[in-house]
Amino acid sequence: QKEVEQDPGPLSVPEGAIVSLNCTYSNSAFQYFMWYRQYSRKGPELLMYTYSSGNKEDGRFTAQVDKSSKYISLFIRDSQPSDSATYLCAMSAGAGGTSYGKLTFGQGTILTVHP
C-alpha cells in the first residue's frame, strides 16, 4: 500500500463546475500538505500549502486537511479550461535532517475542464 493514495481519474467537468480532488495517506508523521499543478509536458508548480489541519483559501482554490481522518482535499470553484492539468497532492513530515524537503506525492488526478 502506498503512503499517499490519489485517484488518478481522469476527471472531466464542464466550465464553471466545482471540482473536488482528494488524497488519503497513512503516515501520521506528515505535517505539511501541498497541492501541485502540472500542465502537460511541464514541471509541477506549487498551488497551495497547508500546515497541519485546517482550511486555506486562495482565490478560487480551497485546501482542506483533516489529520484525524488522514484526508486532504482541494476544491476548485468556477473551474476554467485553463485549470485543465494534473493535480498532485504532496506531503512532508517537515523538520530537519534527512526528512527535510522530502515530499511524498500522490499519483496525480488528471482534470479536464471543457468549455
Partner 1 sequence: DTAVSQTPKYLVTQMGNDKSIKCEQNLGHDTMYWYKQDSKKFLKIMFSYNNKELIINETVPNRFSPKSPDKAHLNLHINSLELGDSAVYFCASSLTGGRGYEQYFGPGTRLTVT
Residues near partner 1, by CB under 8 A: 8, 32, 34, 38, 41-46, 49, 86, 88, 90, 92, 94, 97-98, 100-105, 107-108, 110
Q: Minimum distance from CB of 95 to partner 1 (Å)? A: 9
CB nearer to partner 1: pick between 44 and 72: 44
100, with CB counted inside 10 A (0-12, 13-18, 19+), is exposed
Shortest distance in whole angstroms from residue 104 CB to partner 1:
8
In DSSP notation, 64-100 reads EEETTTTEEEEEESS--GGG-EEEEEEEE--SSGGGT
